[in-house]
Amino acid sequence: MGKNITYKILEDHLISGTLIPGSEVEIKIDQTLTQDSTGTMVYLQLEAMDIKEIKTELSVAYIDHNTLQIGFENADDHAFIKSVAGKYGIHFSKPGNGICHQLHLEGFSIPGKTLLGSDSHTPTSGGMGVLAIGAGGLDVATAMASGSYFLTVPKVLNIKLTGALNPWVSAKDLSLYILKQLSVKGGVGKVVEYSGEGLKGLSLTDRATITNMGAELGATTSIFPSDENTRYYLKSLGREMDWVALSADRDAVYDETMEIDLSKITTMTAKPHSPDNVDTIENIKGMKVDQVLIGSCTNSSYKDLMKAAAILKNSAVHPDVDLGISPGSSKILKMLADNGALSTFLSAGARILECSCGPCIGMGQSPKNNGISLRTFNRNFCGRSGTENAEVYLVSPETAAISAIKGCLEDPISLGADIYIDEPLSYASSDSYFLYNKNIDTPVIMGPNIKPVPLNHMLTEGMTGKAVLKAGDNITTDDIMPSHAKLLPYRSNIPYLSTFCFSTIDENFWKKCDENNGGIVVGGENYGQGSSREHAALAPLHLGIKAIIVKSFARIHKKNLINSGIIPLEFVNLKDYNAIDEMDDLEIKSLKYSLTNDSEFTIYNKSKDITFNAAFTGSSRDIDILLAGGYLNYIKTKMTTMG
């Protein structure tokens, strides 16, 4: 039976387990990447693991998210990450060098390797045949420390591409078309693997746009074969020696298949406020536009920006439009400067932004009140731009550039004959932006805003605590740990962040915890839904929360609680929730020795003199993690045992 690319790479990297969709396997991780927004916590966790050296072949720390430095906090984060990078021999990419995914493609991605990144768009490297997966920060820290990662084996969805894209129709339009077909949930639990004759017409960076947008499908990752287009790109970067051919067997088996005739696709946009709310440009063109932004890890390759420059040549940006351009990397910016494209942008009246995420993560360039913004980015969720009532449309660089000139949403097809941009024969150097100085004695620099990651204690037999909060249904991780722009610079300061824990529900929550030596949180259905942020478990851990008893949990948050050593319990009889009042004294008598994959506990409500039952479900590894007092303690013990 023939193999697909995904399973070939998984088999090559399998450490333990069986490759059956839905089961958990341990795989070897070759490379990791971090960005600064999640990276500070990753490296605090790595430090807490107390290791001598990292086990990955290559790890890179990029600074691309928070580069505004409107206070000392972000600059201190950068200095901390740089010092840890020096200590462990992690490549460090200075601020201004560019966006992690674009830079990783240019400098480090190698077909057939595994990459784990603390950023959801890590699958971008799948455009080069890398099995590239976005994960939580703790997973990435663990991958560096142990060299492995536990993965739920995905199904493989094969998208076979036939035909060729029409003039002015781009890889971004194809990505939006796929999102329209599959929706933002269509890729959950799957790897999207591309094949077919249509691949020939897609350059490496086109493919990277598609794998980048695959994150919006909710997919584990997306992957392309490694072929002559891959080789050409690597050669132009002076890395031809990194090229290896990689393709699925002729008789490869997939769990699902889908065929797309590229010639049937037209220009597309994702309307507010979801990447799968897709329509054709033809259907809504003419809409007045206030802002146009070209850049992000989705669409800031050399070809993307040169195409925009070609459209803007000898034209001016419309008087009512603000056009911003953020190149994906310093290499690309230098090439634009050298070949005159930068001059074209300036002559047209564009704003040239730093090579970073910038407006994509809400770091500047928020649209005006009720503004309409066209962006070549990958996400248009409400409020992500920094302006709550702005309307963000996702488009290709071609659509963005022509619309910036016209002042309204315009179809690039109206330009007539397409403009063909040659892939560069060789890329500029960006060596001065990368640092690599491995020295185990490098002192770790922790500015006043950086605090050690909180650690739990080994599980004790009994547990008592007050019900310091009784929350309702559908509590989100944002309710637990708000993450508005003002709190972003404090991601590396859990003690400070903790004073905002549950602040939208009870602003005195942290004080109650402080006065009662922590406690227990009681909640309703679907507790911890929303973003996967680890801080929603780390802040309660810092405040001394020992257990959370709810009607039901959101899956990822439950995992994060286990990783923090906080016991997640569910009411056996849901009506028992009603019998608990805030500040009741609760006692769980037998815990440590009774914790099994599917165990039930009697909880004594001392204040009411009644008992009720709550259940724990989890894997054997989950139990070991809880017994050790959280994942960091668990991994430390495991690595000591392994020597």
Q: Quick check: 192 and 223 in contact, CB under 8 A?
A: yes
Binding of ligand SF4 at residue 466 (CB under 6 A)? Answer: no
Give 323 or 635: the residue with its C-beta nearer to ligand SF4: 323
Applying CB under 6 A, among 125, 291, 296, 376 the residue interacting with ligand SF4 is 296
Q: Binding segment for ligand SF4 among 14-22, 93-101, 188-196, 565-573 (CB under 6 A)?
A: 93-101
Helix (H, G, I), strand (E, B) or coil at 442: coil
Indicate the DSSP class of residue 381: -
Give 248 or 363: the residue with its C-beta nearer to ligand SF4: 363
How wide is the angle at C-alpha 108 spanned by C-alphas 107 and 109, nearest 5°?
Answer: 120
Pure H helices in 214-353: 228-236, 281-284, 302-312, 330-339, 341-348
Give 119 or 410: the residue with its C-beta nearer to ligand SF4: 119
Q: Cβ-count burial of 53 within 10 angstroms (0-12 exposed, 13-18 middle, 19+ buried)?
A: exposed
Instruction: Read off the amino acid at residue 207.
Output: R
What backbone torsions phi and psi does residue 250 show, to the nearest 5 degrees?
A: -55, -35
Q: Which of residues 365-424 bind ligand SF4 (CB under 6 A)?
A: 378
Q: Copy the structure tokens of residue 284.
A: 């809504």
CA dihedral 552, 556, 562, 566 (to 10 degrees): -60
Indicate the DSSP class of residue 188: B
Binding of ligand SF4 at residue 361 (CB under 6 A)? Answer: yes
Give 298 or 498: the residue with its C-beta nearer to ligand SF4: 298
Least Cβ distance, residue 385 to ligand SF4 (angstroms):
11
Give 101 or 559: the residue with its C-beta nearer to ligand SF4: 101
Least Cβ distance, residue 361 to ligand SF4 (angstroms):
4
Least Cβ distance, residue 449 to ligand SF4 (angstroms):
21
Q: How far apart are CA 144 and CA 149, in angstroms?
A: 9
Distance set, CA 379 to CA 66, 215, 270, 296 (Å): 18, 10, 9, 10
Give 394 or 550: the residue with its C-beta nearer to ligand SF4: 394
Give 85 or 361: the residue with its C-beta nearer to ligand SF4: 361
Least Cβ distance, residue 301 to ligand SF4 (angstroms):
13
Give 15 or 382: the residue with its C-beta nearer to ligand SF4: 382
Where b means 16+ CB within 10 Å and e means fewer, 434-461 reads beeeeeeebeeebeebbbebbebeebee
Binding of ligand SF4 at residue 360 (CB under 6 A)? Answer: yes
Least Cβ distance, residue 509 to ligand SF4 (angstroms):
30
Q: How far apart are CA 255 and CA 265, in angstroms?
A: 25
Give 122 or 183: the residue with its C-beta nearer to ligand SF4: 122
Give 356 or 492: the residue with its C-beta nearer to ligand SF4: 356
Give the DSSP per-residue string, 423-484: PPSSPPP-GGGEE----TTPPP---TT--PPP---PPPS-EEEEEEEE--SS-BHHHHS---
Smallest CA-to-CA distance from 171 within 374, 396, 417, 423 is with: 396
Give 231 or 303: the residue with its C-beta nearer to ligand SF4: 303
Least Cβ distance, residue 62 to ligand SF4 (angstroms):
9
Q: Quick check: 170 and 206 in contact, CB under 8 A?
A: yes
Binding mask 584-623 for ligand SF4 (x = CB under 6 A): ----------------------------------------
Give the DSSP per-residue string, 50-73: T-SS--SSEEEEE--S----SSHH
Least Cβ distance, residue 360 to ligand SF4 (angstroms):
3
Q: What count of residues does the chain have?
A: 643
Applying CB under 6 A, among 81, 99, 281, 305 the residue interacting with ligand SF4 is 99
Q: How far apart are CA 295 and CA 449, in angstroms?
A: 31
Smallest CA-to-CA distance from 63 within 32, 109, 94 is with: 94
Q: Quick check: 292 and 400 in contact, CB under 8 A?
A: yes
Indicate the DSSP class of residue 566: P
Least Cβ distance, residue 297 to ligand SF4 (angstroms):
3
Least Cβ distance, residue 28 to ligand SF4 (angstroms):
25
Q: Which residues does residue 522 pair with via DSSP β-bridges, in sequence order? A: 470, 549
Give 375 or 558: the residue with its C-beta nearer to ligand SF4: 375
Q: Binding segment for ligand SF4 among 95-103, 201-209, 346-354, 572-580 (CB under 6 A)?
A: 95-103
Half-sphere exposure of 254 (CA within 13 A, CB side): 21
Give 396 or 563: the residue with its C-beta nearer to ligand SF4: 396
Binding of ligand SF4 at residue 105 (CB under 6 A)? Answer: no
Instruction: Read off the amino acid at residue 161.
Output: L
Least Cβ distance, residue 37 to ligand SF4 (angstroms):
8
Binding mask 118-137 for ligand SF4 (x = CB under 6 A): -x-x----------------
Neighbours of 19 (CB within 10 A): 14
Instruction: Read off the amino acid at residue 425.
Output: L
Binding of ligand SF4 at residue 532 (CB under 6 A)? Answer: no
Give 220 or 344: the residue with its C-beta nearer to ligand SF4: 220
For ligand SF4, how many residues bind (rule: CB under 6 A)? 12
Smallest CA-to-CA distance from 294 within 275, 272, 309, 314 is with: 309
What backbone torsions phi and psi does residue 470 show, to the nearest 5 degrees?
A: -120, 105
Give 361 or 404: the residue with its C-beta nearer to ligand SF4: 361
Least Cβ distance, residue 173 to ligand SF4 (angstroms):
19
Our measurement of the distance from residue 534's CA atom to the centroid of its chain's CA atoms, rounded to an integer in Å, reads 13
Q: Binding segment for ligand SF4 among 239-247, 357-365, 389-397, 413-421 (CB under 6 A)?
A: 357-365
Q: How far apart are CA 161 and CA 368, in angstroms?
A: 40
Q: Binding segment for ligand SF4 among 98-106, 158-166, 345-353, 422-430 (CB under 6 A)?
A: 98-106
Least Cβ distance, residue 533 to ligand SF4 (angstroms):
14
Least Cβ distance, residue 532 to ligand SF4 (angstroms):
14
Applying CB under 6 A, among 357, 405, 522, 547 the residue interacting with ligand SF4 is 357
Q: How far apart are CA 598 and CA 617, in angstroms?
A: 5
Least Cβ distance, residue 611 to ligand SF4 (angstroms):
48
Q: How far apart are CA 105 and CA 87, in angstroms?
A: 25
Q: Cβ-count burial of 253 within 10 angstroms (0-12 exposed, 13-18 middle, 19+ buried)?
A: middle
Q: Binding segment for ligand SF4 among 96-104, 155-163, 347-355, 536-544 (CB under 6 A)?
A: 96-104
Least Cβ distance, residue 493 to ligand SF4 (angstroms):
21
Give 296 or 564: the residue with its C-beta nearer to ligand SF4: 296
Q: Contact residues for ligand SF4 (CB under 6 A)?
A: 65, 99-101, 119, 121, 296-297, 357, 360-361, 378
